Amino acid sequence: MSTPLLVATKPLVLFQSISLADVSLIQTMILQDEGGWVLTSYGGDNDGGWTYGGMTRKLFESYFGNVPISTVATLSGDLSTSAEFRRLVICVYYKEFVVPLRTGNISPEVFPAAFSCAVNCGKGGYNTVKGIWQVSKNLTQRGFCDAWKEHYFQLLKGNPAYINVIHGWVNRVWRYL
């Protein structure tokens, strides 16, 4: 029996219990919207500075405790452990974002965009998506994406420092149109 890579401090769903469709949804979002299975570091990020596969340090540590970035780099780069590590990340995305969104009566057409929006908006992403879904009047994917984009422009209006990231946010929305 092998020693687990990380021990979750919060319960996780078993990877085997996640549908293939949901695993594909999560992997597609990571590759398309989060830059892939890479470790990035951005000092100006208020969520802790590094992300892996788009998952912020703050979210990661809420499941696995205070994990040094060097450990994350080793786990993500070591071919013998990276598949297991990625499965853990998928389980967190599933529990934090997919499961809550499935209870929100969001149409299957809009669900991939809603999932990406929730991930991009972070820990409170479900509530943000719920608000955007209501503003878009439960319309089409286009209606949701227009309301999602408007949400980002409202954030920029409230905080001009977001000028540095608004282009990436809007590009993210456009990928779902």
Residue 143 burial (CB count, 10 A): 16
Asked whether residue 2 is assigned to any structural domain, the reply reads no
Check whether residue 94 and residue 13 sit in a common domain. Answer: yes
% of the chain beyond a pLDDT of 90: 42
Check whether residue 15 and residue 94 sit in a common domain. Answer: yes
Residue 126 pLDDT: 84
Nearest residue to 76 via CA among 47, 43, 49, 51: 51
Check whether residue 99 and residue 116 sit in a common domain. Answer: no
Check whether residue 73 and residue 130 sit in a common domain. Answer: no
C-alpha neighbours within 13 Å on the C-beta side of residue 4: 7
- Rounded to whole angstroms, the Cα distance separating 139 from 79 reads 44
Residue 45 pLDDT: 57
**Of the residues 51, 85, 103, which one is the last residue of a structural domain?**
103
Residues 153/145, Cβ–Cβ less than 8 Å: no
Check whether residue 28 and residue 113 sit in a common domain. Answer: no
Check whether residue 57 and residue 114 sit in a common domain. Answer: no
- Rounded to whole angstroms, the Cα distance separating 59 from 40 reads 15
**Of the residues 52, 74, 103, which one is the last residue of a structural domain?**
103
Check whether residue 83 and residue 18 sit in a common domain. Answer: yes
Rounded to the nearest integer, the mean pLDDT of the chain is: 85
Check whether residue 123 and residue 96 sit in a common domain. Answer: no
**Of the residues 57, 88, 103, which one is the last residue of a structural domain?**
103
Residue 42 has φ and ψ, to the nearest 5°, of -135, 110
Q: Tell me the pLDDT band of 84, cut-offs 50, 70 and 90.
A: confident
Domain count within the chain: 2
- As a dihedral over the C-alpha atoms of residue 69, residue 70, residue 72, residue 78, rounded to 10 degrees, the angle is 160
pLDDT in tens, 23-72: 999 999 999 999 898 888 765 555 557 888 888 888 888 888 887 777 88
Asked whether residue 3 is assigned to any structural domain, the reply reads no
The residues that bridge with 41 in the sheet, in sequence order, are: 50
Check whether residue 80 and residue 113 sit in a common domain. Answer: no
Check whether residue 128 and residue 65 sit in a common domain. Answer: no
Range of the structural domain that residue 39 is part of: 8-103
Instruction: Indicate the SS3 state at residue 29.
Output: helix
Instruction: Indicate the SS3 state at residue 136.
Output: coil
- Rounded to whole angstroms, the Cα distance separating 112 from 22 reads 10
Residue with tokens 């994350």: 72
Residue 103 pLDDT: 84
Asked whether residue 115 is assigned to any structural domain, the reply reads yes
